[in-house]
Structure 1
Amino acid sequence: MTSLHFVERLRDLTSSVDVVLSDIWGVVHNGLEAFPEACEALHQFRKGGGTVILITNAPRPADSVQRQLRKLGVADDTYDAIVSSGDLTRHFVAEHPGRKMYWIGPERDSSIHRGLDAVLAPLEQADYIVCTGLFDDETESAEDYRAMLLKARERKLTLICANPDIVVERGDRLIYCAGAVAELYRELGGEVIFYGKPHRPIYQRAIELAAERQSHPIALNRVLAIGDSVRTDLAGAHGFGIDCLFVTRGIHAEDFEGIDQLDPASVKELFGHPPKALMRELRW
């Protein structure tokens, strides 16, 4: 295993790349504002003939994610398409019409079931659970759901996790996501189906969309993933067989403070499977 260095520019890595699969939250914005240099980097890659597919663990459909991006100032020409864990979760719900769903999540995520034949029900009557997040992610943690999850386990309910992230940035804070609840349920012995990174379906869908835009099959050695999470972005890219550019300014920022180079031992400790390169903030 070799040392890892920081690179300054995305263009130094993309001479043999046709497709970029970019994370959104932590790479393109922090939940409150867009990162202009990151947006420009993706835009420039597209201008050179590349395809950018945004892949996100947002528990909302792609059109909802796009509306949020527009509000934050991310232009439509930054990317070609969006694939969200919310889209994949909605597909599961659509394939189980009439079944009773107990939904854990804030009202802002109601698009997860809107327009589908989903019957919302209390936990005691539900056939399965969909978790898009915490009811109040400003004040709660997964531990607040332990008693509820124990009841769900007793009923042997499957929990569909619409966002495998454990935490995400909101401004300068980290808040808990659906993945934290799902992981606790799994620790308690409950069955969990995860949609989103690091699991294969979201990457497969992204590659399908990229192939449509490139008008030819996509070789995985010409794909670069970009992300800021070891657990989702890096692990997902490795599992799918593609390179990953790891952006350190996101949820792991404290681990890289004051570091300019990683020796092999540090690479193994922080990453396990190393990324192709490190970058503090995405820029062209």
Structure 2
Amino acid sequence: MTQIIEALSDISDDYDALFCDLWGCLHDGIDAFPEAVAALQAYRERGGMVVLLTNAPRPRAEVAEQIAKFGVPEDAWDTIATSGDAARVALFTGSVGSTVFHIGEPKDEGFFEPLAIIDDPVEITRTKDLSQATGVVCTGPFDPTADPSTLRPILLEAKTRGLPMLNANPDIVVDRGGAREFCGGAVAQLYEQMGGTVHAFGKPHPPVYDMARRRLSEAGGSDISEGRILAVGDGILTDVKGAIGEGIDSLFVTGGLAAAEIHQDGTPDQARLDAFIGKEGLSPTYAIGMLR
């Protein structure tokens, strides 16, 4: 049975590194959560290492700038691994060809900057004409507040042409402050339902965990074993499922995406938690209301 804990410090001595989610755990898309920041700072002060592992479809440098604006200080983390970087490796090694149609917002332009780790990157051309495209890159909907079904005509044409989709963000939704927004995963889910082919990156898929381990090693954690890594996140189908697939323990933050289903009077309710994870068929090692 998943154990409900009160604070990260209750279990932190059992782990040398955290793979910690951002949205819903460390910030709400607008502001940092002070207690979560303090928990990560305290964990690092005791010698633990923190990899911020996010399904953001952007390079890690852009994510670092973004969270700094939200109020997350650099002493709360060691390194960052993003689904965007994992997907960029695939893009620039030709996974969807060289001429791509982009579904996403202008803020995701950084996704198309070549990675230094690719010696001979494929030269990518973007087109607004699906008939000229060899593939589709999805970093999210054009409008995250609109139902993804509005993209059905574009997706139908792409599917009819047999275009593969590279999805840089498997998240279905996020909560920006108190408003729910759709992510790339919602678009990719619809495309798959229509019969399209999707190459997905980010949690729960293995490539982003490989990148997280590389970044952890680069930061000085090369000797940390799988059994000493704890994944922290509020997504049962991303953070928890990914951790289970990688064979690492997980801390499920129930006050994020699943708060309405699990919380009672602002704290996780054991019966509701058990019912929720039973329905999903995914059992995290631990659960906590909010990271603190």
**TM-score normalised to the size of structure 1?**
0.93
Distance in 1 separating the partners of 2:269 and 2:170: 30
The aligned amino acid for 2:237 is R
- The question of 1:276 aligning with 2:285 is answered yes
| Equivalent residue, structure 2, for 1:219 | 225
Asked if the contact 1:5–1:262 (Cα under 8 Å) also holds between the matched residues in 2, the reply is no
The aligned amino acid for 1:260 is D
| Equivalent residue, structure 2, for 1:128 | 135
CA deviations 1:20-62 (Å, max 9, x no partner) are: 0000000000001100110111111111111100010001000
The aligned amino acid for 1:8 is E
The alpha-carbon deviation at position 213 of structure 1 amounts to 3.1
After superposing the two structures, state which structure 1 stretch, 218-227 or 96-105, moved more: 96-105
| Equivalent residue, structure 2, for 1:239 | 245
Distance in 1 separating the partners of 2:216 and 2:8: 19
Distance in 2 separating the partners of 1:267 and 1:85: 26
Distance in 2 separating the partners of 1:204 and 1:114: 21
The alpha-carbon deviation at position 118 of structure 1 amounts to 1.8
Distance in 2 separating the partners of 1:263 and 1:87: 36
SS of equivalent residue, structure 1 residue 262: helix
- Return the match for 2:269 from 260, 266, 274: 260
SS of equivalent residue, structure 1 residue 169: strand
| Equivalent residue, structure 2, for 1:40 | 38
Distance in 2 separating the partners of 1:91 and 1:20: 24
The alpha-carbon deviation at position 256 of structure 1 amounts to 1.3
The aligned amino acid for 1:104 is I
Distance in 2 separating the partners of 1:89 and 1:15: 33
| Equivalent residue, structure 2, for 1:93 | 91
Identity of aligned residues (%): 40
The aligned amino acid for 2:178 is D
SS of equivalent residue, structure 1 residue 246: strand
The alpha-carbon deviation at position 277 of structure 1 amounts to 1.3
The aligned amino acid for 1:221 is G
Q: Which runs of 5+ in 1 are unaligned?
A: none
Aligned residues: 280
RMSD value, Cα:
1.8
- Return the match for 1:187 from 187, 193, 201: 193
| Aligned CA distance change for structure 1 residues 74 and 152 (closer, same or farther; 3 Å) | same
- The question of 1:207 aligning with 2:210 is answered no
- The question of 1:49 aligning with 2:58 is answered no
Distance in 2 separating the partners of 1:272 and 1:215: 32
Distance in 1 separating the partners of 2:82 and 2:6: 28
| Equivalent residue, structure 2, for 1:19 | 17
The aligned amino acid for 2:183 is C
The alpha-carbon deviation at position 211 of structure 1 amounts to 2.8
Q: Which runs of 5+ in 2 are unaligned?
A: 116-122
The alpha-carbon deviation at position 262 of structure 1 amounts to 3.0
CA deviations 1:99-151 (Å, max 9, x no partner) are: 1010000101111113583211121210010000111112x121111111111
CA deviations 1:223-279 (Å, max 9, x no partner) are: 100000111011000001011101111111101121532389526424422111111
